[in-house]
Amino acid sequence: MNRIKRGNILLFIVLTFFVQAFAQNKSDTIVSLDEIVVEGNSRRAILMKSPQNVVSVGQAFLKQNFAGSLMQSLEKIPGVQAMSIGSGQSKPAIRGLGFNRMLVAENGVKHEGQQWGDDHGLEIDRFALDNVEIIKGAGTLHYGSDAISGVINLKSSYIPQKNFEGEINLFGRTNNESTGLSARMGGRRNGFWYRANLTLTDYADYKVPADSIQYYSYYIKLKNRRLRNTAGKEHNGGLHLGYLSDKFLTTLYLSDVYTKSGFFADAHGLEVRLSEINYDRSRRDIDLPRHTVNHFKVMNHTSYRIDNLTVEGDFAFQNNFRQEFSEPVSHGYMPTPPNALERQYNKNTFTANLCAKFLLAEKHHIHAGFNGEHQNNRRGGWGFIIPDFRTTALGAFVFDKWEISENLIVSGGVRFDYILTEIDEYRDWYETYKIRSEKLKRNFNSITYALGVNYDLNNWNFKTNFGKSFRAPIPKELGSDGVNYHIFRYEKGNTGLQPEESYQLDAGVNWHNEKLDIQLEPFVNFFPNYIYLNPTSGYYEGLQMYYYTQTHVFRWGFEFNVNYKIISQLELNMSGDYLYARQLSGDKQGYTLPFSPPASATFGVKYSPQTKWAGKDGYVSMDFRAVAPQNEIVPPENATAGYGLLNAAAGCTFSIGARHALPLRITLQANNLLNRRYYDHTSFYRLIDVPEAGRNFSIMLGFNF
């Protein structure tokens, strides 16, 4: 009851702020742009672009919010969560749904790593991106399976404007003693252009505000408050080659992202480990357990325009190669393995997308397309979680955006998908020789649709979108039948699972004038067959039995963002999100879903003096992030206490050199200024009671030429 009351009080405060803000704003000054929306378009045009709630941020946002990983930067956006794996990697989630319930695309092509894994981060070079677009709500219509809670579309489509141009960024963070370099260069001559980028990062074990970690009453003492063996490094490179004429555009993208990082040495998964390895010898070395991930991509995007018809094609090949190493230890019936290679996944994905866009009867923007994808995933190592598999997915859609009038747009579409999954048999490599995964061939069909309305009226803008989305069950859910030692559980797949379907109604309400911008994004979501890994009270082969099942799930929530420009130099911002999830059937009826993010609100103030010394883009900002406790948990989770974090940032651009030819940009950030010891409910290390990183200062220096 207390929690509900507190929620109500918080809401009341929020709404009171709304009402007061309405009352106060009458005067007119310069046009205010929401800090998060940085596309060079008017507010209205952005809002009318899609019936869905879309947030778009550019490089400036990523630099100002520079963090250990891309997702940790994007976490500032209400409704977006980073599920952190140590200090340098994280998994994305939108409104609490991550893994295979959201989709990451790079330049429109689905990014295929090992999204299902708890400790597999997103393999992306954030310095190569120009723009990140986040679509909240059903995204299946354009993207196919998985885009249930939304889509994060990473774009790097900038075409160099000069013969030669470039940028160098140097950065460092104090908490994990991270250092890095990122360089970009490019050039354009006639219709041809190229772009190249390189990013190198190296970080040490990160620091937490704790001397020891208490987990199952086991005390893990930390040396110098550092989490042993959480160091890592990242080496990324990319090359774009392109040609542009007035009707034709083609770009070839090549990229490789390599990450090597350690896992906390004293526990692997939930299991406490003692080791002979002298982890305290160095805080920069990467010992066991660790993983290396290499993601290679080659993509081509081509578009051709004839009158009002545009034909586009995307063709891509991706290879994701991940190896996880840990000290070989016998477990149950498994003898001591011969080497440290615990898991290996090698996944090749081929993608082909074709689409046409044209204008029909002057008011109908038609977008029709076809997507095809083939994946081949092969495993290795002595630890089994998922079998080898191949999937082929084919989809076709048609979408109509009907501009009834300047103020009213109705859009809708329908899509058909076919997915074929073939799973290979897997047997234990030791004595028991038990079949852990049966040979299986399944196909899934799905029809999805969406219907949306955009309506603009003076200072108001309304949008609503109803969409059905789906995802095909993944091989882990269908085929697993074995022990996951890291989480101390026996996982039993279900070969009869049906495609997971989701019905979601989204709304967006915006009120804006020159000083104030208020955005509210509520949603309601229902799953008739959410695929859930249910912990039972039984034991099998010595570990708690979990099995995959499908349940009815109801969710609702909202995000809000209020931006108030008191004067042109001083801006106040308040944003937040709330999420409610309930399982309505099955064994865990009445419980929430795993990894439900707690409600949060951020209050920020930003001062941009616009004086001579601070330059045009100089700013100082401070924000306070309040996160509610999360007591809505489901076995085996732990409740997480609420917390408050104070962060600050500043930045400006100097001109140095002869005739001030070289602009030097400095961005400073301070996170967790009060060095608060807190736990992030959605972090990978939450289950073993490891607190989040302590106070951190970061600096980035950038030169553009």
Partner 1 sequence: MIVAWIKKDKLRCVVSYVLLIKNFMIKKILIFNILVFALFSCENNGERDMQKPVIEIISPQSCVELQRGESFTFRAQFSDNVELGSYNIEIHHNFDHHSHSTDNVECELDEKKTPVKAWADNWNYTIPKGQKTFEANNEIPIPADIDAGDYHFMVRLTDKSGWQQLAAVSVKIILSDIHF
Q: Which residues bind partner 1 (CB under 8 A)?
A: 1, 4, 7-8, 11-12, 15, 18-19, 216-219, 271-276, 329-333, 336, 460, 462, 464, 488, 503, 505, 507, 509, 522, 524, 526, 528, 534-544, 552, 554, 556, 580, 582, 584, 587-588, 590-591, 631, 633, 635-636, 639
Instruction: Please identify, using beta-carbon distances, which residue of 118 and 327 lies nearer to partner 1.
Output: 327
Compute the least distance from the CB of residue 272 to partner 1, in Å: 6
Q: What is the DSSP letter of 41?
A: S
Instruction: Please identify, using beta-carbon distances, which residue of 120 and 268 lies nearer to partner 1.
Output: 268
Instruction: Please identify, using beta-carbon distances, which residue of 469 and 696 lies nearer to partner 1.
Output: 469
Instruction: Please identify, using beta-carbon distances, which residue of 27 and 217 lies nearer to partner 1.
Output: 217
- Distance, CA of 31 to CA of 515 (rounded, Å): 7
- Distance, CA of 413 to CA of 705 (rounded, Å): 45
Q: Where does 157-289 show beta strands of DSSP type E?
A: 165-173, 178-189, 192-203, 212-215, 218-221, 232-244, 248-262, 267-268, 271-272
- Distance, CA of 116 to CA of 47 (rounded, Å): 33
Compute the least distance from the CB of residue 260 to partner 1, in Å: 24
- 127 within 8 A of 114, measured Cβ to Cβ: no
Integer CA distances (angstroms), 509 to 452, 520, 529, 656, in order: 14, 5, 30, 45
Compute the least distance from the CB of residue 53 to partner 1, in Å: 14
- Distance, CA of 239 to CA of 196 (rounded, Å): 4
- 692 within 8 A of 686, measured Cβ to Cβ: no
Compute the least distance from the CB of residue 68 to partner 1, in Å: 30
Question: Rounded to a whole number, what is the largest CA-CA distance in the chain?
Answer: 79
Token pair in block for residue 434: 């038990």
Compute the least distance from the CB of residue 559 to partner 1, in Å: 14
- Distance, CA of 386 to CA of 381 (rounded, Å): 11
- 432 within 8 A of 488, measured Cβ to Cβ: no
Instruction: Please identify, using beta-carbon distances, which residue of 181 and 340 lies nearer to partner 1.
Output: 340
- Distance, CA of 268 to CA of 195 (rounded, Å): 40
Integer CA distances (angstroms), 167 to 164, 693, 702, in order: 11, 30, 7
Compute the least distance from the CB of residue 552 to partner 1, in Å: 5
Instruction: Please identify, using beta-carbon distances, which residue of 365 and 552 lies nearer to partner 1.
Output: 552
Compute the least distance from the CB of residue 455 to partner 1, in Å: 9
Token pair in block for residue 669: 């950030």
Compute the least distance from the CB of residue 380 to partner 1, in Å: 23
Instruction: Please identify, using beta-carbon distances, which residue of 495 and 544 lies nearer to partner 1.
Output: 544
Paired sense of beta strands 53-58 and 131-136, if any: antiparallel
Q: Which of 474, 531, 557 is nearest to 94 (CA)?
A: 557
Compute the least distance from the CB of residue 538 to partner 1, in Å: 6
Instruction: Please identify, using beta-carbon distances, which residue of 235 and 273 lies nearer to partner 1.
Output: 273
- Distance, CA of 67 to CA of 179 (rounded, Å): 12
Instruction: Please identify, using beta-carbon distances, which residue of 388 and 501 lies nearer to partner 1.
Output: 501
Cis amide prior to 636 (ω within 30 degrees): yes
Instruction: Please identify, using beta-carbon distances, which residue of 276 and 307 lies nearer to partner 1.
Output: 276
Compute the least distance from the CB of residue 101 to partner 1, in Å: 19
Instruction: Please identify, using beta-carbon distances, which residue of 377 and 640 lies nearer to partner 1.
Output: 640
Compute the least distance from the CB of residue 590 to partner 1, in Å: 5
Compute the least distance from the CB of residue 511 to partner 1, in Å: 9
Query: In the sheet that 80-85 helps form, which strands lie side by side, from edge to edge?
Result: 80-85, 89-94, 97-98
Q: Which residues contact 372 (CB under 8 A, 6 or more apart)?
A: 351, 352, 353, 392, 393, 394, 395
Instruction: Please identify, using beta-carbon distances, which residue of 301 and 489 lies nearer to partner 1.
Output: 489
